[in-house]
Structure 1
Amino acid sequence: MKKSTFLIVFFLLSFLGFSQETEVKFDENLAKSLNADEYGMKKYVFCLLKSGTNTTASKEETKKLFEGHMANINKLAKEGKLVVAGPFMKNDRNYRGIYIFNVETIEDAKELVATDPAIKANLLKAELTPWYCTAALQETLKIHEKIAKTKM
């Protein structure tokens, strides 16, 4: 009887502890600065980078184009137009990487894609799709700078 009473009390206390809501602190200034809607979300453009049609570029030319590709990524990130970028691991779909552009329209994203030397040279091909995600995604680069021991 003691054991069953103990278990009942334990489960009731556990239930009460888990059922309490945590207080959410809405930061209106932060939400406005990130252009968040009422749900804390905003529009972006997701870019899937695939292997392009250029298979004749020399190793030296490819190296130079990808150096320009990386410089362009860093430039767009510093301008706040690119919130996430990164390569895919080896895969059988010809997926090479992604960009998440901090713009609302495909047309705006096309202008940014056109600044990438590897895309201009058809080493990479970009597929653009409107995307809706947390506005907090824009804070990712600030956090990354704090955790990256070595800079790219």
Structure 2
Amino acid sequence: MGMPASGQGQPQPPAADQSYIFSYLVLDAPEKLSQEEMGTAMQGHFENMGKMAEAGDLLIAGPLAEPRIDPTYRGIFVFSTGDIDEGRALCATDPGVKAGVFKPEMYVITCDEPLGELTRLEKEYEQRRLDDPEIPDEWVGRMFILAIGPGDAEFEHTDTVLIDATMDRVDDDADTPRQLLWLDASSVDEAKLGFKADDLDAWSFYGWYGSPCVAELKDT
């Protein structure tokens, strides 16, 4: 954290917490679609993600990977809004949701990391890609690890932790709040190195594949 412009040596106040809508994309009834219908729905799914990202509504998206939470949990969205109704409306624009391929499972996540900066970081990355012939023309993602634990689970806040959020399920009052950590690690074994051995039993670790710009959050 930097010093204030006044140079008085006083630390800046901590960033204010902000809320965002996080949604799993869970398989609904894709078996009801023909191959052609599935192809149309998925093409629209990816096109719509691009539109939402360009509008600044979609901050994070990507498929879940091994180890999975559940085979039916296929991907995630994180929206710039923390409003539940707005989150529902954005999920409802997805052609995959409309066609019955996916159904959203929504949470409100709250953190002090500036997730809104991801829109800027993505545009800067795209410009670097266009300007630098050494960077592949096609978009290239990378693996991250998500760690989910009880609200009181212990962990060390090292540079590996890109996002440290509370996670509250929408439309399920019986669900208890949890912690969600987005980790700058490409495997569960690597992710676990940032935890004390006594703390590991409280956490579950899952794979996610997405934009390398998420790792740049620690430099904002």
**TM-score, normalised relative to structure 2:** 0.49
Could you say which structure has the larger radius of gyration?
A: 1
Work out whether 1:124 is the aligned partner of 2:102.
yes
CA deviations 1:53-109 (Å, max 9, x no partner) are 231212221111111001111111111111000111254431110000111211110
Give the corresponding residue for 2:25.
Answer: 49
Measure, in 2, the Cα distance between the counterparts of 1:50 and 1:25: 44
Given residue 40 of structure 2, which amino acid in structure 1 is its aligned partner?
K
1:78 and 2:58 are equivalent in the alignment: no
Q: 2:71 aligns with which of 89, 93, 104?
A: 93
Identity score, percent:
29
Alignment-derived partner of residue 5 in structure 1: none
- Within 2, Cα distance between the matches of 1:119 and 1:50? 9
1:103-142 pair list within 5 angstroms = 103-142=81-120
Q: Extract structure 1 runs of 4+ deviating beyond 6 A.
A: none
Distance between the aligned counterparts of 1:25 and 1:122, measured in 2?
51
- Determine the C-alpha separation between the residues in 1 that align with 2:114 and 2:4: 13
List gaps (5 residues or longer) in structure 2: 6-12, 130-135, 141-220
CA distance in 1, matches of 2:80, 2:39: 27
Q: How many pairs align?
A: 121
Please state whether the residue corresponding to 1:112 is helix, strand or coil: helix
Name the structure 2 match of 1:61: 37
Amino acid at match of 2:39: K
Q: Which has the higher helix share?
A: 1
Equivalent residue number for residue 139 of structure 2: 151
In 1, Cα distance between the equivalents of 2:29 and 2:42? 15
Q: CA RMSD in A?
A: 2.5
CA separation in 1, counterparts of 2:24 and 2:108? 11
Q: Mind listing any 5+ residue stretches in structure 1 that lack a counterpart? A: 1-22, 28-36
